[in-house]
Each structure stands twice: as structure tokens, then as C-alpha cells.
Structure 1
């Protein structure tokens, strides 16, 4: 399977730490992201219309699955077993390989990239991540594949219920489309999710949907649209900012990227996530601007510029990461366990013990 993905960094290095996707052993619970915040999905239709697949790209079943009349995420298709899919980690990159799930004739690699690069403090301080999907069609028919990235307007816990959240679609400098959302709180946070449109990749958005029955567009409605059409209405880009959410509502947004993959062909689709929270405040009262504001400013619009630059620069980031890691990974004097542990332990430093700040506070 991995030999089919051996191009454009789609296959993980053999030294990466690995586990089967449906295995829950050794998962770092303190760093997990909840289903409420980020969910990715795939919708596949084969030419001729005889084969169709749709699933959330996560194994197992949602706890509310099967509830009669549910309009939330349990109404989606949780059809992935994870038995034939694997997760590979070599920080600051990771790979999730879907080996014929949910479509037996489609191999999917999702490569996750964080810009953590030695001696490059500018890019390492950026609050952004890129998700690059490589699709390999091993079947005899063309396949239309739609990938979906959703994000709840939340900074964790129950912040999504606080009200006054606003979602807004945007089109950036490149053919890059996404949704920008502002989370209420102190300090304020703006998220941006986006995908890059290419000659073969079409991007559409759903700026706002909800998880409850009272929502104008529910999660169940969103799922139904993707199953039927594989995309959203392009007029959604003209919808402007949403009305501020009411307390108790959970506003979400989605970005879809669709492409035709020829028989025995390959295709790449890239998404990015960025977040702008310009101030960090410590318990004793000191406040600082985060380091990225030196380059992007403190405006809410910084999130759009961050997500744009992430999709523009991720290939260069990977080149620098590979140049840094390659001498260690190829050093035969070092045991294999030491190589992946050396890099993966940096995750604790970045996620649990580091705040990138400027040189001033107020």
C-alpha cells in the first residue's frame, strides 16, 4: 500500500511511530481534539453511479448514533472501521493512511504538517497547520472524491455555547477559499479553515450550520447535501457574515474540496487551519503579544493571511523539516526507537510548555 503513495511525501518515513487507526492504546488524551471541534469526511462516487461511499474519517461510532430524529453529528455516516488504516507520527509531521476505507479501490494519505523548524523562529511561531490529502485510484472507473473539513466555533470546553459567535466566508489572494469565524471570549480568537482550488480541485463552503434541530441548516442537512451533490452552492461565498449566534447554539462551518481521480491516477488536495489570538495573559497579570503578531498584526483578519501563507509555504516547510531530520533518520549508529522518540517527544515541548511571544509586554 505505502509504495503506491511513495511520491510527494505522501508516504511516512519507515522510522515513524505507527499504530492501527482503531487502536486506542497509547493515545495522548491530554492533547486530543474532540469531535466537536474538528471532523473530516470523505464522499466518493464512481463513474456509472453503481458505487458510492460516504464516511466520517474516524473509526468507531459516535455515542449518539441511531437516535431517532437527531439533527447533530450522530446523523452522519460513521462507517470507518479503521482496521486497515494506520496512523504514523514523526513530529512535526504525521500521516493517516486509509488503505481502502471506505472505498476498497481508493488509497488515501492525510499528511499533517506543523511549521516547527530549527532556527526558523518566524515560521515556528505561526499558529497554523496544513492537511494534505493524496488520493490514489486503483480502480477501473473514474472516481469523484469530495473531502470535507468542518470546525466548530469553539476554543474548547463549552465556549461554543456562549453566544455572539460569527462565521464568514472568504476568498483569498490565490484561488483559496474558506470560512473565518470569531469566537467570543477574552482574549478574542479568530479561526480560519481553507482549501486551495486548482485546475482539478473545486472548493465550496458552507459558512454556518448548527448541531440542533432549531438551526437554519442542521448538521444532518449538511451531510445530506454532501451525499447528494458532493459540494455546496458556490453562491455561499456571497453570503457575508452570519448573524451572531445565540447562547446555547453551536455554530459550525465546513469547507469542501472535490476532484476527479482517473483510473490508476493520483490527486492532491490541501486544507489548512489557522487561528489568531493576538494576546496571551499570564495568571499574575502580565500580557504579551504573541510572536506571530510581529508579522501579521493583531487584526481578526490575520487568520486569513495565516491560512493563506500556510497553504503557500507548506512545501518549503517540509523541505526544511526533511533536511533537519534526514541525517538522524539515516544514522545507522542510532537505534530505531531512539530516532522516532527523539522527534516525537518534541510534541510535549511545543504543545505543553511553549508560548511564542514578542519582545514586549503591557
Structure 2
């Protein structure tokens, strides 16, 4: 091989980070370049990248993420220059490995996990489904980014099988609850944001400080057992219907790679309170695809999301909650204006009343055992090109009863 294995989606303008193992080697940090990955600690040893050798030798990204935005920027510049430098081509090629030879790991050790509810379209659809005679949005929805604190220990890397959860459920026609496997198992197409930089408890992070803590994003599938969720969520919200598994992509795209994807937010009316205002408010022009068993059934556009990532982070800390490196917060389901832009099966099938067809002639309202769901996404890069986000995929296994 004499040329670098770049592609438009995973070229030098992208360079997402991940963690991989090969044969008997310990997990270590890599960057994706086309259909290969670069051993970053090895390359740094060979090409004057001493500042990052220790962090890139670790079994997750946390040590590197903890170094903060100046180090993230310097590392990205060094990596791009090194990969582009013809005089270092042999050193680069020696540290390249085909993706097929690697086993990808969860890229971060997740500290805390929070899931938001930032899509007005999704929240409106859910409100219309469950409150057909009332207001679609709850009175607080446009005043604050609603969220819940999830279970960090069940965030799993893309490719991990998902066991159908069991729990209590009670349909409206049932007189008593029953226990058993969820029969309304769903997906939620989301983005996950990786946080870096610890903050002291009692010290909120402002809108204009928030980006200093935003390392990167990965596609995220927040698997949801709608029947378990519906029975348990009053009065305290999601619990066992969400906490059994959430899938994170193996590749974390740095925020620096998404500069061309930044876009204006939809108009926020009423104007949020002052702590949710600032100069650093943005949306992201990221086009997501939802695929089940090889067939694309939805294309949710992240650009329609109502709340900025910086607003979500500022709200998450406004009460004085401290940040920890490795914190992960997700956007909530991404849904657009159109039916084929809905990011959950709950919406696509309108809670089972309108099953959608698959290419094999079957229909779905919710997930069946053996179904494989994959989320993919692209975003604008520099000079009119596009970059790719690493996919997130999972297969449904039968419940263990």
C-alpha cells in the first residue's frame, strides 16, 4: 500500500476517534481513516507526538478528553499534518490497520448519562399519541430542555446484541399489571455528546463556556420498552423501560470536524430565560438514516432540533451539578416534520395503529426478535464535501425469562 486509504466520508477532515483491540493487544485509541484505523500512540511515538502518547495508550478516550480543548485542537492539527506529510508516509502506513482486523470497544468510560427530549416534532407527536384531547406539548417544554438521568452502566458499544427486556406492563384494557417480555420494544435515533473537563459541584457552566466541554458526538440508539415505560413513568418518569440498554457508536466525531455542519436553531418562542441565552447557540445539519433489516425506513434531520447542545449542557449544570470527564448526554429522539422523518417506531407506526411495510412483505409497529437496526448519518464537511458519522447497530435477542 502506498496511498492513504481515505474516503470522502472518513478522510482528513473527519478523523473520528475510537478504541480498538487487535489479536492480543490491549485496547488503545485509534482514529479512523477510510476503511482503516491509525494506531495513535504508535504514530505519536514515531512522529513527535509525545504530548498524547500516554493518553492514547489508554483503554478509553477519557484521558485524552480530560486534556481539554487546547489539547484536542493541537492533537487534531498534528494528526492532520502528520497524515498529510509525504516524508512521514512510511511511519503512517506502518501504523494503519484494516477495520476488519480490529474489535471496536466502547470509546469512553461513561461517567454520568443524561437523555434529553429536544425535538419539538418528536415531543409533539408523542403528545398527540398519548394526549389526543389535550395540548401536545407540556407547559414547560419550550422553557427548558427536558431530560432524565439514565443508567450509564448499560451504555454499550455498537454491534452489541440487545436482549429484549422484561418488566411490568399494563395495557389500558387490562385490569391488573402483568409481568413478561416487552411487546412494544422501540428505538430512538439520537446523537450522544461526549463531555470533557471536570467542574466543581456548585459551579454552573454557562452557554458560552459549554463548548469548551463538548468533545464530540456519536450516533446513539436509546432502546425503549414502551409498554414498560407507559406503566411506570407516572409520576417520576423513565426507569426500567429505558435503562436496560443504550447503544453508542464506536466512533466519536470531534466537534471540530462538524464546524461546517453548524446551523441556526429554529426560532425559540418564548425567549428562554437568561441562563439559556448566549452567543454560542447552534444546531447541527446532520442527516440520519434509520435502517431495519437492511431497509431504510426513516431519515430524521437533526437540523430541526429545538434546543442547542450548549443549552442542554448549561441546563444540566444550572443547579450546580458538576461535570465529569466521560459524561454523556443524548439529544432525545430526532424527528422531522414529515412522516418518513420520524426517529422512533412509536411515531412511525403511530403507536401501532399504522404499521409500516418492509421490503420482505412483513410489517412492523415495534421490534421483533432477530431484527437488526442500524443508524447512519452524514454531515457537511469543508469545500462542499460530506463527512460520515460512525454507524450504530444492534440486533434484538429473545428475552431471558
If the TM-score is normalised by the length of the shorter chain, which range does it land in? under 0.3
Structure 1 length-normalised TM: 0.27
